[in-house]
Amino acid sequence: MTGSVTVSIDEQVEVLMSSTGYGDNQTRENMRQELRARLIEAQQEGRPLRVYAGFDPRTTDLHLGHTIPMRKLKQFQDFGHEVVFLIGSFTSLIGDPDGSTARDVLSPEAVEANAKTYTDQAFKILDPAKTKVLYNHEWLSQLNFADLIGLARNFTVQQFVARETFRNRIDEGDPVFLHEFFYPLMQGYDAVALNTDVQVGGQDQLFNLMAGRQLMKGLGMKPQVVIAMGESLPGTDGVMKMSKSKGNHIPLLSDAGQMYTSLMKLPDSTMPLYHKLMLGWTQAQVDDLMASIERGERAPQDVKADMAFAVTAIFHGEEAAAAGREFSRTAMQQGGIPDDIPEHAISADASVVDLLVETGILKSKGDARRQIEGGGVRRDGDKVESIDDRVTLDQLPVVLQYGKRKFVRLVRGG
């Protein structure tokens, strides 16, 4: 193995297995041993490991939660291994099934549009000179029905039904559609097509990650090592995993002021995980920090401010982070967007005009149009320029404001 950093195999294993989780200790130990064996093999062959993680462009932007597996990819890069940033240009058409309902089927045009900025966003974490960007439609779109039958023979219906995502919906009497079973097959085939040594993903993706191992083994290949991240970044609600579909995300494309403000509004309970997952602190460092807060040596708000600045600086630089901090302080202290504002759930894309009336901010569509044209309506602090402006589900949460006192936060639901 060659690379810019020379460290022992044992040191690599220690770093690369950090913060991983598999639901049971035996699986974790198996993956640790396989990773070590694969590193020894690669070193003997004088080659780097081939490592990848996939990201489905179901929406136009990535969020802070997506950067957790990216940071693991960066660790592999730092050790000189080959990293593939895989854009799920074909898997996105279906989307990974969630625990409540089948995802909407996207058109190829929508997926292509969403994927345009993914690499720029990923390169905020990954080294572009050491990253290979690929799209899985290049091989998945070439499979025919006979190929699909051949892949499906490596799995049983019982395996899929036992998956928590499907089992919960079945228990609740909610439909599970046949096409949703295709997603693990497709993701598993990515590993086959790439002939990878390692795949990185979240623990909530473990079923799909292991599907790649099973498929590779069934096709006579050496199964990839799975690096499953054991902890997920909490969203802005402080409870649920950060997710675009849940409307609790902080987009990487948000400007410095918006990012800093969103981070400052996080519940105090999220601080340990944000320091650990976003800033790379060790558990011992996090424990010392929390102990200092308990002793009264550090104020929680000051700790959060330091964290918000550090995270914002990662994506925007220190100068922009400082400007974002001032923007946030001004907004919070001088009549900006308050913390406690009413929420209104929407279940479909809608015009700002309709939403202003629907939420009760303004009494009529005519009034809403006049106020927008007069510059009196703001969206996330920015002036709404057109009466044709719309709010889409992919953009949530969104704050609408009229004047200095009327606010509403739009969230997904309804």
295 Cβ partners below 8 Å, 6+ apart?
none
Q: What is the pLDDT of residues 86-104, one digit of tens each?
A: 998 888 887 666 655 556 6
- In this predicted structure, what is the pLDDT of residue 245? 67
Q: Is 132 contained in some domain? A: yes
The DSSP string of 317-371 is -HHHHHHHHHHHHHHHHTTSS-SS--EEEESS-EEHHHHHHHTTSSS-HHHHHHH
**Co-location of 270 and 354 in the same domain:** no
What are 270-325's pLDDT values in tens digits?
999 999 999 988 889 999 999 998 988 988 889 999 999 999 999 999 999 998 88
pLDDT bracket for residue 409 (50, 70, 90): confident
Of 310, 333, 356, the one marking the end of a domain is 333
Q: Strand 350-351 to strand 382-383: parallel, antiparallel, or no bridges (unpaired)?
A: unpaired
124: which 2 tokens? 């905020």
Q: How many domains does the chain have?
A: 3
pLDDT in tens, 44-96: 999 999 999 998 887 777 889 889 999 999 999 999 999 999 998 888 887 66
pLDDT tens-digit readout, 158-209: 988 888 778 888 888 888 888 888 888 999 999 999 999 999 998 888 998 9
Q: What is the pLDDT of residues 255-279, one digit of tens each?
A: 888 899 889 888 888 999 999 999 9
**Distance (Å, whole) CA 306 – CA 328:** 13
Same domain, 270 and 357: no
- Mean pLDDT of the residues in the chain: 87
- pLDDT for residue 3: 46
Instruction: Report pLDDT for 4.
Output: 46
Question: Average pLDDT in the 106-120 region?
Answer: 77
pLDDT at residue 335, rounded to an integer: 52
Please name the residue ranges forming H helices in 118-200. 118-122, 137-140, 145-152, 157-162, 164-171, 182-194
In which band, very low, low, confident or very high, does the pLDDT at 330 lie, cut at 50, 70 and 90?
A: confident
Q: Are residues 69 and 185 in the same domain?
A: yes
Provide the residue range defining the domain that includes 375.
343-412
Q: Are residues 370 and 329 in the same domain?
A: no
| pLDDT (0 to 100) of residue 339 | 56
Domain check: are 326 and 347 in the same one?
Answer: no
Contact between residue 56 and residue 24 where contact means Cβ atoms under 8 Å apart: no
Residue 240 lies in a domain: no
Residue 356 included in any domain: yes
Task: Kindly state whether residues 36 and 179 are assigned to the same domain.
Answer: yes
Which three-class secondary structure state does DSSP give residue 68? helix
Give the mean pLDDT of 107-117.
Answer: 75
Please indicate, yes or no, whether residues 21 and 50 belong to a single structural domain of this protein. yes
Residue 4 in domain: no
